[in-house]
Amino acid sequence: METIEIKSKYNVSVFKEEIKKLAEEQKFLKDQRKTVHIKGERKYEPWWATMKHAENTNKLRIMYAAYGIMRGKCFSQIENSHGEEDHPLNKFHDNIDKIINQYVNRE
């Protein structure tokens, strides 16, 4: 994967805001997954919150990887638990490219 030169800081700031929004939603969904002793009001059923939390976890992992690639890092620097050749993020290569193309203007 090649390093991308970021032309527009506006798109990167929008991308970072999307990551922050999803991270905040994860905190909220964590409480909603509980079946008892919930703080505040229940807005979602526990089973739905669990499914949404798992979906957001995968989406955030791909978004963090895309952000790392935009900053010029390789997969082993983003998640350093594996080597570059057999890194688990390699199977999400197409999704990462789609996200990068969505948020970064190539001119």
Element housing 62 (H / E): helix 46-70
Confidence of residue 8 (pLDDT cuts 50, 70, 90): very low
**Scanning the structure block, which residue is given the tokens 């970021």?**
6
Sequence letter at residue 2:
E
- The least confident of 13-27, 31-45, 60-74 is 31-45
Residues 6 or more apart whose CB falls under 8 angstroms from that of 6 comprise: 12, 70, 104
Confidence of residue 104 (pLDDT cuts 50, 70, 90): low
What pLDDT shows up at residue 21? 94
Return the SS3 of 48.
helix
Q: Chain-wide mean pLDDT for the chain?
A: 81
Element housing 24 (H / E): helix 9-32
What pLDDT shows up at residue 41? 77
